[in-house]
Structure 1
Amino acid sequence: MFEKRDRFLSLLGQRSIIMGIVNVTPDSFSDGGRFNSLENAKAQAQKLVAEGADIVDVGAESTRPGHTPVPEDEELRRLEPLLEGLVQAVEAPVSIDTSKAAIARYAISRGVCVVNDVWGLQRDPAMADVIAVGGAAVVIMHNRADVDEKRDIVDDMRRFFDHSLGLAEKAGIPRHHIMLDPGVGFGKTKLQNLEAIAGMTKLQDYGLPFLVGLSRKSLLGSLLGDDPAIKLIGTLAANLTAAAHGASIFRVHDAAEHVTAFKVFDAIERA
């Protein structure tokens, strides 16, 4: 686990990083129900890695708008038949998309090396300690339980991150194990989602890598419509724009297209 974790962390800052998505849920907005078996989940993970994904992100609870929260035992029931086998099936590191400490602990015990927490260590009070003890890296995502169009979302992101980073420091999570995520699509209006992407520029003083999850989001549908081909173009455009504003890790369904796009982006940036 630690070898994969350190290999992944060593890439940060060197080039754009592609995180491929494997949802083992019945109700995710884009691919719910497709990868619920070990065979299908392994095949999808291997496909993403073959296409160039640097890390595979596994989630057993949909966090789409209007989702039904999944109890801890149900989330574990979805993961137990396949997580260990999936981790062993790919050379790339695997992250777990969860906000529950017990699920994070289980995943780390099965070889997962990154915890992708959509509540940024603030939903489950045990989460920071579990990550610290397990030695995993962590993605701290900005989130809110309510939407307020009058809120300065970038200021709110800073307050949120300051609190989460305090929790991480208290638990003993090394700072170089931490990534931040503006949380596009979570607790924000359409305008605030756009402001959150652009606002990463103002948050570079944290000195931490930013991850963005823009793939096939409803934000893109509201701008472009729901045609899958158009949504892919929109996702690529949004991720390249996010990269120009400071993002370096991109959580996507379509790994091959993003690997190609970021080869061009990174070549121009290096020049």
Structure 2
Amino acid sequence: MSLNVIHSISDMQSISNALRKEGKSIACVPTMGYLHEGHASLIREAAKQYDIVVTTIFVNPLQFGPKEDFERYPRDPERDIAIISAAGGKYVFIPSIDEMYPPEYQTTITIGNISKSFEGLYRPGHFEGVATVVAKLFAATKPDAAYFGQKDYQQTLVIKQMVNDLNMGIDIQVIPTLRESSGLAMSSRNVYLSPEEKKSALVLQSALQTGLSLIREGIRSRISIEEQMKVILATCPEFEIQYCNAALGDTLEMPDEFSENDEIVLLIAGFLGKTRLIDNMAWSGND
């Protein structure tokens, strides 16, 4: 079966309805395009479990702030289509901005506490844009499940909250972050980095690994963990820290002391030159 490219919401809904009548299961992989191996891994994982994988490509203006990189965000739909096809995708939904947000459009979705800290603090309105577009993509593709990468950790919690609160009945699967051979977390925005900046960016992984090592050693003081991660980040003065924290993996709350069985996530964000980088690592107690 060749890859089918759909541009209208009504066409996508009709196709999904027909597939469901045939008894096919559907998984959705939402993306903003400029795909890399991390995205391909999501498509492959979805294809193992579901009959049909619909990948969406939409650079969503609602989730970008006024001084962010919406205009220069990398785009290459022909390359994306080739990657999707090779990974086992069957359909790709590529709507225009006018298709998603016509002139009369007025609705946004706001998520509560889980969206207020970290990315929500530094990117006001970001998660309203994310929740709104993902809800619309789900309405268009009508999936049984959706696949996301762990790299956008807080985003996965926001989407899970929305799906649960709005009784969407969609299984949200989160796949571990894929990394380049150097250890740098794969990201479409890595294209912005110079070779020297890519080397410098490895300090994020080093700091996160330091935090994980402390947790494995039994350290449960949040401040102690964070201080040691910041010591590592300080070895790269070009990296401008926005946040470097340890938090509860399910709520993102930050107690002074974690309990022995707490799931803990380590989160870092900041700027390297003009490029904003985020990364995280999670501790489940079984690592």
Does the TM-score normalized on the shorter chain lie above 0.5?
A: no
Q: Which has the higher helix share?
A: 1
More strand by share: 2
Larger radius of gyration: 2
TM bracket (short chain): 0.3 to 0.5
Specify which structure has the bigger relative contact order, considering alpha-carbon pairs within 8 angstroms and separated by 6 or more residues: 1
Give the TM-score, by structure 1 length.
0.33
TM-score normalised according to structure 2 size: 0.32
